[in-house]
C-alpha cells in the first residue's frame, strides 16, 4: 500500500471515528433530555404529593412545637374508633414479639442456647438487662413447674410470665363523684403531654364531667396556646397566665376556678424540663404543696407521660420523676410507632405503678385505657 493510500486510509478512519463520536454525543444528549424530562415529572409528582400531605387534615406532626389540632371527619372517626388494638400495635407484634415466637420454632429441645437467644432478643427490645434476666429466670421456673418439654410450648408460658409483670390494680383514673378531682400531669417535652391532656379532658367531658385545665407550663413556647386549643376542642375551661409566669400562681388560680365552677376534674399541665433535676424538684414540690393546701389529705392523680419509642431513656425519666413527685401511674404514648415496646414491662415492674393509658395513634380515640390482658393478647396474637 502506497503512502497516499495509507494517508487517505487514516483520514477515512478519523472521519469514521468522528462520526461515531458525534452519534454518541447525540445519543447522550437525547438520553440526558429524557432523564431530565423524567426527573421533572417525578419532581412534579413529589410536589403534588407533598401538597396533598400538607392539606391532609390527618397529617401526623412529630414535632410538638408544631403540633396541630385537627378535626376528624365523622366517617373517619368512626372507622378509627373501631380499629382494633391489634392493628394499632402491628409494629410491636411483628417486630419484637414476632421475633420472640421465632426463637421457639424449629428447635427440638428446650436448652440453654434457646434461653440465651431469648435474652439477646429481650435486651434489644428495650426491656433492659436486669429485667431480662428476671424474665428468663422466672420463665425457666414456670417451664419446669408446668413440665413443658417442647420449645414451641414455651411461647405461651412466656406470654403469661410477661403479663404477670404488668400492674392490674388502679389502672383507671381515680375520679370520685361529689368532689373536685385533680390530675397532675408531668413529663419531659416532646412526649405528647399536651395532646394527652387534651384527649383525657375530651373523654371526661364526653362522660359528663365538668373539666378545668390549668396551663402551668409557662416556660415552653406555644405550650399555653396548644393547650388552649385542646381545651376549646374538648369543651373544657382553661386557666392561663402570660408566658414566663409563675407556675405556682397558675396552679393556685386553677384550683380556685375549679372550686368556683364546681368542676368534677381539674387537670394541671406542668413544665417538661429535665435538664436540672434540682429546679424540677423545687418546682414540682411547690405545685404539690399548693395542691395539698387546697385539698388536704385527699388523694389525687400524678401521671407521668412517657414516649414509648425512647426505650430505656423512658425508664430513667420514670425513676427521676418518681423521686420528684409521688407518681400514681403512667401514660405511654406513640406505641403504634415502635417495633419494640418492652418499656411497659420495665416501668410497671420496677416502679410498681399502673399504666393508665397507652397512646396508639393521633386520634382522640387512640388514647386508650390500659388493660393488660388486651395488650398482651394484641401483641402476642
For residue range 204-251, list pLDDT tens digits in order: 999 999 999 999 998 887 889 999 999 999 999 999 999 889 999 999
Nearest to 236 by CA among 272, 273, 278, 264: 264
Q: Say how many CA atoms lie within 13 Å of 178 toward its Cβ.
A: 0
Strands 355-359 and 367-369: antiparallel
C-alpha span between 72 and 364 (Å, rounded): 9
Q: Dihedral sign, CA of 353, 357, 361, 362?
A: negative
The DSSP bridge partners found for residue 181 are: 265
Q: Which residue has the cell 405556682?
A: 248
How many CB atoms within 10 Å of residue 27?
10
For residue range 295-346, list pLDDT tens digits in order: 999 999 999 999 998 888 889 899 989 988 889 999 999 998 886 778 899 9
For residue range 29-66, list pLDDT tens digits in order: 554 555 455 445 444 544 444 444 344 433 444 344 33
Taking 80 as the threshold, does the pLDDT of residue 73 lie above it? no
C-alpha span between 234 and 147 (Å, rounded): 53
Q: Is the pTM of this model over 0.95?
A: no
Amino acid at each position: 500500500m502506497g503512502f497516499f493510500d495509507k494517508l487517505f486510509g487514516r483520514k477515512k478512519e478519523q472521519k469514521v471515528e468522528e462520526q461515531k463520536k458525534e452519534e454518541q454525543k447525540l445519543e447522550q444528549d437525547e438520553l440526558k433530555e429524557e432523564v431530565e424530562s423524567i426527573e421533572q415529572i417525578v419532581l412534579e409528582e413529589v410536589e403534588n404529593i407533598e401538597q396533598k400531605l400538607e392539606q391532609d387534615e390527618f397529617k401526623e406532626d412529630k414535632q410538638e412545637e408544631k403540633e396541630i389540632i385537627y378535626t376528624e371527619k365523622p366517617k373517619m372517626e368512626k372507622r378509627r374508633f373501631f380499629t382494633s388494638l391489634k392493628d394499632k400495635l402491628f409494629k410491636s407484634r411483628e417486630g419484637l414479639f414476632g421475633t420472640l415466637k421465632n426463637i421457639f420454632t424449629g428447635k427440638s429441645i428446650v436448652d440453654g442456647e434457646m434461653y440465651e437467644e431469648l435474652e439477646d432478643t429481650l435486651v434489644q427490645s428495650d426491656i433492659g438487662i436486669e429485667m431480662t434476666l428476671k424474665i428468663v429466670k422466672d420463665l425457666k421456673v414456670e417451664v419446669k413447674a408446668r413440665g413443658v418439654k417442647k420449645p414451641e410450648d414455651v411461647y405461651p408460658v412466656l406470654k403469661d410470665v410477661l403479663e404477670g409483670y404488668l400492674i392490674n390494680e388502679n389502672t383507671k383514673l381515680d375520679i370520685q363523684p361529689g368532689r373536685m378531682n385533680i390530675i397532675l400531669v408531668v413529663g419531659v417535652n416532646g412526649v405528647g403531654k399536651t395532646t394527652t391532656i387534651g384527649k383525657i379532658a375530651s373523654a371526661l367531658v364526653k362522660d359528663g364531667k365538668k373539666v378545668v385545665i390549668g396551663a402551668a407550663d409557662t416556660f415552653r413556647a406555644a405550650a399555653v396556646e396548644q393547650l388552649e386549643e385542646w381545651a376549646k376542642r374538648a369543651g373544657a375551661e382553661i386557666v392561663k397566665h402570660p408566658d414566663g409566669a409563675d407556675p405556682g400562681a397558675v396552679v393556685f388560680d386553677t384550683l380556685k376556678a375549679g372550686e368556683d365552677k364546681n368542676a368534677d376534674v381539674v387537670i394541671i399541665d406542668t413544665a417538661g424540663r429535665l435538664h436540672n433535676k434540682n429546679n424540677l424538684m423545687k418546682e414540682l414540690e411547690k405545685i404539690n404543696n399548693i395542691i395539698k393546701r387546697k385539698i388536704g389529705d385527699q388523694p389525687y392523680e400524678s401521671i407521668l407521660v412517657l414516649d414509648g419509642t425512647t426505650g430505656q431513656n423512658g425508664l430513667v425519666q420514670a425513676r427521676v420523676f418518681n423521686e420528684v413527685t409521688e407518681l400514681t401511674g403512667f401514660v405511654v404514648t406513640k406505641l403504634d410507632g415502635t417495633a419494640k415496646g418492652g418499656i411497659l414491662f420495665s416501668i410497671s415492674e420496677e416502679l410498681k405503678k399502673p399504666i393508665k393509658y397507652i397512646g396508639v395513634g393521633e386520634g382522640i380515640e387512640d388514647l386508650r385505657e390500659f388493660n393488660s390482658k388486651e395488650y398482651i393478647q394484641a401483641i402476642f396474637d
